[in-house]
Amino acid sequence: MSTTNTSNTKPWFKNLKPIQEWQYLKVKIWSDEELDVNITEVSFRMSIQQALQSIFGQVGASCYVNVLDWNQYRNEGIIKVKQSELTTVWSSMLNHQFLIANKACALDVVSSSAHLISLAQ
């Protein structure tokens, strides 16, 4: 007599994969006008924090955002956020406008993935 796990043989039982804990976003600072200044990684970090604070206040400012890479020539960076805070971070960046060298700028999410390797070029 063999013993089998009956929960695995039930048609409604699915072996679901857990949701990834982190989400990686490739974010670009862009402007309609040409930006003739170098944007540093610190400025990029501050722009994201300002977006979170201005849209969601202290709750937004407490979101975990880690800048993993910054390309000052393309004004693009890769950030890591918690999956549970993804909607908050993403929406705050898309709704935030700011000035760099008196030129209107915005943050744009170029791509997103649960795996960092997929954002590599």
51-106 tens-digit pLDDT: 999 999 988 889 999 999 999 999 999 999 999 999 999 999 999 999 998 999 99
Question: Residue 61 and residue 69: Cα distance in Å, rounded?
Answer: 20
Evaluate if residue 17 carries a pLDDT over 90.
no
CATH architecture, domain 21-114:
2-Layer Sandwich (3.30)
How many C-beta atoms surround the C-beta of residue 21 within 10 A?
10
Torsion of CA 26, 29, 33, 36, to 10 degrees: -110
Average pLDDT for 13-24? 73
Q: What integer pLDDT is reported at residue 59 of this predicted model?
A: 83
- Residue owning tokens 């915005």: 106
Would the pLDDT of 29 be above 60? yes
Strand locations in 1-115 (E): 22-31, 65-71, 76-82, 97-100, 103-113
| Residue 103 confidence (pLDDT) | 93
For residue 3, the model assigns a pLDDT of: 53
Burial (CB count <10 Å: 0-12, 13-18, 19+), residue 7: exposed
Tell me which of 50 and 60 has the higher pLDDT. Answer: 50
Name the least confident of 5-9, 24-28, 35-39, 105-109: 5-9
CA 105 to chain CA centroid, Å, is 18
| Mean pLDDT across 39-55 | 94
- Tell me how far apart the alpha carbons of residues 67 and 84 are, in angstroms, rounded to a whole number: 17
Beta-ladder partners of 82 = 22
Check: CB of residue 96 under 8 Å from CB of residue 54: yes
